[in-house]
């Protein structure tokens, strides 16, 4: 029996589609760790001595020109990084924001009365998952619902923060964990951005990244872990908060299973894309209210947007 031509065309199309079908999510990732270094600009990362992060860049992918949200200050940008959206959506518009005196209401609220963070999303979809947050700047802890976090800890120095985080990873092997380091921002304010002291603070942060990597290795999860390293903003002179390129341009390092080695991402990328990338890597559905998009070109099997 001779099949109609349209049937043959349909079969050929189906076979071709199956043969060229790319993976929907990266494979082999069971843990996502985010290291946030307050005040780390792309220029600072390029100029400072950072052997650990240089090695990670060679092993993985890098965004050199990711952009912050405005204003280029800490609360709106850390919030955007963990909420997958900008201030217009999550409502955290300044460093003066407080959950008990909300100015701009979030566009949506979960059962906890907050805009959904990546902590909430992981917890909701994987209720038994170990989730952690460790931070040097106390203000970071008010930006999310701690009920969605298994381990929440604040320390007063970069070293104690990194040591605790490394030990936490080594013992608990979290599915998702975030660390915020604050000392590079302090150096920028006190000494000036791009001064020797500022660059030395970045070198110190690099040594703390090495300590965290040791914790990941000790946990035995290095080959299952996606690591993202980024910042809330850069700076110029002794401050930040404006629209100068040095204030709003930050790096995003991505390394782990399935990440393209030595690749420089070309697509426009923003602070809020980090949460979307974490959800994408874990195979978790992101909320419709998020505007962040996964940084897919960093992964094998995914290309830059054609347009």
pLDDT value of position 9: 40
Which residue ranges make up each domain of the chain?
29-298
The strand ranges marked E within the chain are 31-37, 61-67, 131-135, 151-154, 176-181, 225-230, 249-255, 263-264
pLDDT value of position 5: 53
pLDDT value of position 17: 41
pLDDT value of position 106: 96
Element (H, E) at 141: none
pLDDT value of position 103: 85
Per the CB < 8 A criterion, the answer to whether 111 and 118 are in contact is no
Residue ranges for the chain with pLDDT beneath 50: 1-3, 6-21
Shortest CA distance to 143 belongs to which of 213, 201, 202, 83? Answer: 83
Laid out side by side, the sheet with 225-230 consists of: 151-154, 131-135, 176-181, 31-37, 225-230, 249-255, 61-67, 263-264
* Residue 102 to residue 163: CA distance in whole angstroms: 34
β-bridge partners, 153? 134
SS3 181: strand
- In sequence order, what DSSP letters do the residues of 68-96 get, joined into one string? --SS-SHHHHHHHHHHTS-HHHH---STT
CATH superfamily entry for domain 29-298: Alkaline Phosphatase, subunit A (3.40.720.10)
pLDDT value of position 18: 41
SS3 51: helix
* Residue 50 to residue 220: CA distance in whole angstroms: 24
């Amino acid at each position: 029996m001779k099949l109609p031509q349209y049937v043959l065309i349909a079969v050929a199309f189906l076979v071709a589609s199956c043969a060229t079908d790319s993976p929907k999510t990266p494979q082999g990732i069971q843990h996502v760790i985010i290291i946030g270094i307050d005040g780390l600009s792309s220029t600072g990362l390029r100029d400072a001595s950072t052997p650990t992060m240089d090695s990670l860049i060679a092993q993985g992918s890098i965004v050199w020109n990711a952009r912050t949200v405005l204003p280029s200050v800490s609360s709106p940008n850390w919030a955007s990084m963990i909420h997958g959206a900008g201030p217009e959506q999550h409502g955290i518009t300044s460093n003066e924001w407080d959950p008990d005196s909300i100015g701009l209401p979030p566009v949506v609220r979960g059962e906890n009365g907050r805009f959904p963070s990546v902590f909430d999303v992981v917890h909701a979809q994987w209720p038994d998952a170990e989730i952690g947050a460790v931070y040097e700047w106390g203000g970071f802890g008010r930006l999310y619902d701690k009920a969605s976090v298994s381990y929440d800890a604040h320390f007063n120095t970069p070293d104690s923060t990194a040591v605790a985080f490394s030990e936490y990873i080594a013992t608990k092997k979290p599915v998702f964990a975030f660390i915020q380091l604050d000392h590079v921002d302090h150096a920028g304010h006190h000494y000036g951005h791009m001064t020797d002291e500022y660059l030395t603070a970045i070198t110190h942060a690099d040594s703390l990244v090495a300590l965290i990597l040791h914790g990941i290795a000790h946990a035995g999860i290095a080959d299952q872990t996606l690591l993202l390293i980024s910042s809330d903003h850069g700076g110029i002179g002794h401050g930040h908060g404006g629209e100068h390129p040095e204030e709003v341009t930050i790096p995003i390092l991505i390394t782990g299973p399935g990440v393209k080695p030595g690749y420089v991402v070309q697509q426009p990328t923003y602070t809020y894309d980090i949460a979307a990338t974490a959800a994408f890597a874990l195979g978790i559905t992101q909320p419709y209210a998020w505007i962040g998009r996964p940084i897919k070109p960093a992964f094998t099997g995914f290309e830059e947007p054609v347009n």
